[in-house]
Amino acid sequence: MKKKITFLFFINLFFICKIFALPTFGHNLSPTTHSLKENQVTFGSYLIGYGLTDHLLIATSPWIYSNYNMSNLALKYTNSLNDRWNYVSQTIYFKTFNGFSNRYKMESIMTSLGVSTQISKDVEVTFNFNYMFYWDETLPFSLRRETLNDQPYQYNFTALFEFMPESDLGVLIELGALGINYKYPQVISGFSVHYKMSHFLIQLGISITGTPKSYFNSTRYDYNQHKISKEFIDEESVKRDFSIHPEIQLQYFF
């Protein structure tokens, strides 16, 4: 009987550790309130991160570095407000450098403040308010669209729903507003599926940003891509601005 109790204890401990050891980080614009444990490390395509404490994570993204020619550093702090609500504060600094690609040229900081709660047994929602400031936006990444007002900053708001019907399988659905202060604010929507193994997290999905008009118009126009090629963009084209972003994470935890 004693051996059986001991066996069941370690089995339960394994599954608890497995869940805690593999946090979901969310989407590009929508961080979750999950983080690494103290001294825990994650290495992968989306980020290389280290848990300084149970609440403070420092990380950099190889994906942003290799695909956007952009140095980056992130700090993420998470904690609980009470029995029902958790919160997150995340700040990321970006700066391009002279490397193999001159496709992007920008320097910016992005700060997110969010809260999350369980709305049912298998569903968690995180509300994020996001602020971006650009010292340089000559050729920015795709979360910075044409403002038509020359303001070097933008505000965004998202709701991220995480569905967890199984401990190792989940779905993220994102909906919100990008560039609330733009002349033509955009809708952001996203979807991804993630699968957890003992030390691995695999997440595949996409997010879409676009003006309401572009979502229901076949003549969509990706402003940033044409800005790279230095084509002239008129205001009517900005009204149909539309872009798609990958939400892919391949992470190993130890």
Give the closest residue to 137 by CA, choosing from 189, 175, 200, 94: 94
Query: Residue 214: which pLDDT band, with cuts at 50, 70 and 90?
Result: very high
| pTM as predicted | 0.87
Structure confidence by residue, pLDDT tens digits, 78-112: 999 999 999 999 999 999 998 666 688 999 999 99
Q: Please tell me the class of the 24-253 domain.
A: mainly beta
CA distance 50 to 60: 10
pLDDT at 11: 40
* Sign (positive or negative) of CA dihedral 113, 17, 27, 166: negative
The mean pLDDT of 5-31, rounded to a whole number, is: 62
| pLDDT score recorded for residue 229 | 57
Per-domain residue ranges of the chain: 24-253
Residue 217: pLDDT band with limits 50, 70, 90: confident
